[in-house]
Amino acid sequence: MKFDTEIQKRRTFAIISHPDAGKTTLTEKFLLFGGAIQTAGAVKSNKIKKHATSDFMEIERQRGISVATSVMSFEYRGVLINLLDTPGHKDFAEDTYRTLTAVDSVILVVDSVKGVEEQTRKLMEVCRMRDTPVIVFINKLDRDGKPPFDLLDEIEKELRIHLHPLSWPINMGKDFKGVYNLYRKSLLIFHPNQKATEDDIVPIEDLEDPRLASLVGEKDAAQLAEDAELIDGVYGHFDPDPYLDGRTAPVFFGSAINNFGVKELLDTFIEIAPRPRSRETTLRDIDVQEDKFSGFIFKIHANLDPKHRDRIAFLRVCSGRFERNKFYHHVRLDKDVRFSNPYSFLAREKDVIQEAFPGDVVGLFDTGNFKIGDTLTEGEDFFFTGIPSFSPEIFKEVVNKDPMKTKQLEKGLNQLTDEGVAQLFTQHNGNRKIIGCVGELQFEVIQYRLLQEYGASVQFNALPFYKACWITSEDQRKLEDFTRFKTSNVVNDKDGHLVYLAQSEWYLNTEMNNNPDITFHFTSEIHK
């Protein structure tokens, strides 16, 4: 209980969405409210004119998408918020998946025009695996979108989660007049081409209040009263417990680009969102209130600052207090390490910190000691569980176009694949390098970064593989025989584990049936 005050004032969450739903814009508005930035970057028509704070890689600025998770810390109304802005693009889902292991809750952004999209479903499945509490923000109310009740039905049906509206829109698109906050009983008036201010909030506890009709018109006032009565009848009083258990998602409506409805969302979020929670390990459950420090690495980013060739490992603190210059036990390497310059982040801006508490995300300078999933403790040997590495779906051979840069290429491939967005396999005594990814865009990013950050020029040649499976067997001779007979299909991952690359589902099923003594794994737990 020593650090209870620090734990109670922390909220660590991720913002997730399908690409272009307004996630990065919402992130920036949160930072504005927290005083962390003074102006927001405009993200429009998939082109960043004044680049978004959370998109710090050059390729992100060019493409107008987030391809690496950004970490930002800021204070708002006495609460320390650790916000992780995740990639929306489906090709970077694995990075998002691992980021979700490091947060306690999620805000899911849904485009009111497009409704539930493919990536929204996949992200929600990940949240459901851990019963992560979710708040839904329905964005772009200033555009003509789907009717709000239809949107609620669609989200409940598609994402298989109960919803509970805590705010309600008055019309949409060109007729949009504002949002009524059902949770706080207040009306937020919308003015086109103006940012929302405190003056636009009117306390209206009783929807029969005559001021309502004068503000939004009699017809819309009557419609709002009718909708609110229906919502109350269907959803009743809001109970935070089902939300904290991951069974019910509160819903807010607004327009992030207009800064509308964002403050209401943030105010309610810091009130109801979960504090840092206890976590499972290979040894026991680690109570968040424990005095001894523990934490795990959920992300690695090479060359955060290309001028300094730095490599940062992102650590989620799970228990105790992390202290600068103190020695901690690196469980996988079985050695003690210390950090003289641990950082907290505001996107590219870094501040050296003296200490951190459960829920905090700390950036550690890394000389190559860390892998995703590594655990630091004050002496105990355990790993935090549930950080798998997925089977890639696209495979390409790396062809070095400049033999004079072979060393730079080796270093670049190792460091970039350590980040976890792609997997590196070797074949024929390490001479043939194969990259496996879940999406095409990753190859473009890797090719770009190899050239820009390491001076290594490569081309990727497609390979006819369908899936990677890690193979193990209690009979070592059977494994050796299989490897010898399937030389062109068996590779090693970066940890030296054997991996079978199947050409098709049929080939995979055939090998599984023909080799009952060999186990084929579709995910590789980071630590075996």
CATH top class, domain 279-377:
alpha beta
Measured distance CA(434)–CA(19) in Å, rounded: 28
CATH top class, domain 388-525:
alpha beta
Q: Which of 43-47, 68-72, 482-486 has the lowest mean pLDDT?
A: 43-47
> What is the pLDDT, as a whole number, of residue 109?
95
388-525 has the same fold as 279-377: no
CATH 3.40.350.10 fits 10-74+104-272, yes or no: no
> What is the pLDDT, as a whole number, of residue 389?
67
> What is the pLDDT, as a whole number, of residue 305?
55
pTM over 0.95: no
* pLDDT per position as a tens digit, 346-375: 544 567 889 999 999 998 888 778 888 899
**522 closest CA partner among 436, 456, 449, 416:** 436
Residue 339, CB half-sphere, CA atoms under 13 Å: how many? 27
CB 253 within 8 A of CB 138: yes
Bigger pLDDT: 415 vs 520: 520
> What is the pLDDT, as a whole number, of residue 242?
96
> What is the pLDDT, as a whole number, of residue 322?
95
The confidence band for 445, taking pLDDT boundaries of 50, 70 and 90, is confident
Residue 44 has pLDDT above 60, yes or no: no
The predicted model gives 21-36 an average pLDDT of 84
> What is the pLDDT, as a whole number, of residue 197?
57
Helix (H, G, I), strand (E, B) or coil at 19: coil
CB 526 within 8 A of CB 281: no
**57 closest CA partner among 468, 516, 452, 473:** 452
The pLDDT > 70 percentage for the chain reads 86
Residue 60 has pLDDT above 90, yes or no: no
The confidence band for 68, taking pLDDT boundaries of 50, 70 and 90, is very low
The confidence band for 66, taking pLDDT boundaries of 50, 70 and 90, is very low
Bigger pLDDT: 424 vs 128: 424
The predicted model gives 284-296 an average pLDDT of 95
**489 closest CA partner among 513, 471, 514:** 471
* Domain extents in the chain: 10-74+104-272, 279-377, 388-525
The predicted model gives 44-51 an average pLDDT of 36
Q: Which of 138-142, 144-148, 366-370, 457-461 has the lowest mean pLDDT?
A: 366-370
Residue 515 has pLDDT above 50, yes or no: yes
> What is the pLDDT, as a whole number, of residue 88?
55
